[in-house]
Amino acid sequence: MPDTVAPKPGRHREASLYHALHGAGAGLAGREGLSPEAIREAARLVFEASELPVWRRSGFWTTSLQELDLDDLEARAHAPGALPESVRAGLPERGGPGAGLAGRIVQVDGSVVHVELDPRLAERGVVLSSLEDALRDDERAREHFSKRLTYDRHKLEAANAAFWTGGAYLYVPPGVAVAEPFEIVYAIEGAGVAQYGRSLVVGDRASDFRVHEHNLAGSFEGQSLHAGAFECYLHEGARCRLAQVQDWSGGEVYDVSTRFVGVGRDAYCHWLPSLLGGRLVRQHLELAVSEPGGDMAFRGLFFSEGEEHLDAFAVDLHETGPSGGDVHWRGAATGASRSSFEGLIQIDPGARQTHTYLQIHTMMLSPKARLDAIPSVLVSADDVSASHGGTVGELDESAIFYMQSRGLDRASAVRLLVEGFFEPVLTELRDEPLEDLVRAKLAAKLAHAREDIEAYATTR
């Protein structure tokens, strides 16, 4: 077995500046001598040699998974069937495949239970299936699998690579343009679940399509886990609008996930995650321009409430130039929640003529909440332009007074200010049903934290 797959023993503790993905696993699938099956075995060795991780970031905060009872969780299996009503209720209102939707794949707990694809797209060569089936039947899937994802950075990353089940695979052939979105759904129905979801999306040359991922949980007491991995590869001239709506707030869900998007020559990706709830959420989101002429827009929003803990790490990586980038995130925290966002621009040696900008704007809505926003730049090339900025704000009492003087009550004024704060990012979804869903989730969270927000605003 190659040296790159040797396990790292002991407890994982990290306290250095954040960085782009690197480690064992990336690029190994498809190479002679290391199949997807071999990656499972190598990751299992790392999993068995590791303890649950503790992350300490730059002196600002600590994220610990020591309270997670991993031994009490299982990858619960379900039989295929119709779309569960609990899942349907959590999705945007739109028609099925061929009537407002290109296709949909749903994984509940540890099993893919539902797959549907517009037959007209299947005739044009589009593939939507479980990842398990794809790795058995589709050579393209094996060529792209784990092309950039790692498995040795910590125990739960290794767990995903070793134990993933079901999964989602989407392939869009050369020159195929699809206006309606594809939906990938991961749902957790109850406590005691370990969901190791893994998705692979491939956009071939000059394709044009949309992908929406939804993370849903029912209402339950007790722990569950989503240790997810997502990878998307856009070939020459491909274009993709990628959105994620993550809301585990119905249950005590721990979410530790890694997501990677690779942009090829003259390709483009617009990526907008909405991170809206979970007991503890730690996500690494990396968008990399890997070939000349690639461009991207990296948007995102997050909202934490109650006792939730959220860590988001967004990496804008430029491996070659010329390339372009634009990163804009917005977030808010209420209750006694703790949110942290670290955004990194990384420009590698040789990535000349790269132009990118990162901004993060946040809003404190509670005296007990904690919110950190850390933008950073790591440049190893000349002839580039890269800059960043960040703000942490509060409700503007003068704006509230002005809106009250125009007839609004205080609660309505506060709601409009917070919703307006997110609008510049939210409208970039450019999908009305999805925008309405995210707005409704934000409104529900604001209503839940109404008393806390109003009490905080009146003391400022």
Say what the pLDDT of residue 374 is.
Answer: 87
Q: pLDDT for 309-357, tens place per residue?
A: 999 999 999 999 999 999 999 999 998 999 999 999 999 999 999 999 9
How far is it, in rounded angstroms, from Cα 303 to Cα 114?
30
DSSP state of 404: H
DSSP state of 428: G
pLDDT band at 397 (very low <50, low <70, confident <90, very high): confident
pTM for this prediction? 0.92
Q: pLDDT for 142-170, tens place per residue?
A: 999 999 999 999 999 999 999 999 999 99
Q: First and final CA of the chain: distance in angstroms?
A: 61
Q: Please state, rounded to an integer, the average pLDDT across all residues of the chain.
A: 89
Q: pLDDT for 15-26, tens place per residue?
A: 445 678 876 766
Say what the pLDDT of residue 58 is.
Answer: 56
How far is it, in rounded angstroms, from Cα 362 to Cα 332?
5
Say what the pLDDT of residue 9 is.
Answer: 45
Q: What residues contact residue 61 under an 8 Å CB cut-off, 6+ apart? A: 311, 338, 340, 370, 372
Regarding predicted confidence, which is higher, 452 or 195? 195
pLDDT band at 177 (very low <50, low <70, confident <90, very high): very high
What residues are paired with 310 via a beta bridge? 281, 339
Regarding predicted confidence, which is higher, 197 or 19? 197
Compute the Cα dihedral for 438, 442, 443, 445 and give only its sign. Answer: positive
Q: pLDDT for 28-70, tens place per residue?
A: 554 444 688 889 999 999 999 999 998 876 556 788 998 999 9
Please say if the pLDDT value at position 27 is more than 70: no
Regarding predicted confidence, which is higher, 173 or 409? 173
Q: What residues contact residue 41 under an 8 Å CB cut-off, 6+ apart? A: 162
Say what the pLDDT of residue 451 is.
Answer: 75
Q: By mean pLDDT, which of 7-21, 364-378, 441-455 is the weakest?
A: 7-21
Q: Which domain holds residue 429?
A: 3-459
What average pLDDT does the segment 267-287 reach?
96
Regarding predicted confidence, which is higher, 402 or 428? 428
Q: How far is CA 372 from the centre of its chain?
A: 19
Percent of the chain with pLDDT over 90: 67
Q: How far is CA 291 from the centre of its chain?
A: 23
Q: By mean pLDDT, which of 3-7, 25-29, 248-252, 395-399 is the weakest?
A: 3-7
Residue 419 · residue 439 · CB < 8 Å: yes
Strands annotated E in 191-322: 194-195, 198-203, 208-217, 223-226, 229-234, 239-247, 252-263, 268-275, 280-289, 295-304, 309-318
Q: pLDDT for 85-110, tens place per residue?
A: 888 889 998 877 878 999 999 999 99
Q: By mean pLDDT, which of 26-30, 88-92, 135-139, 291-295 is the weakest?
A: 26-30
Please say if the pLDDT value at position 6 is more than 50: no
Say what the pLDDT of residue 12 is.
Answer: 44
Say what the pLDDT of residue 401 is.
Answer: 80
What average pLDDT does the segment 69-85 reach?
91
pLDDT band at 260 (very low <50, low <70, confident <90, very high): very high
Residue 149 · residue 231 · CB < 8 Å: yes
Helix/strand/coil for 321? coil
Number of domains in the chain: 1
How far is it, in rounded angstroms, from Cα 170 to Cα 167?
10
Look up residue 351 and give its two tokens.
């990535």
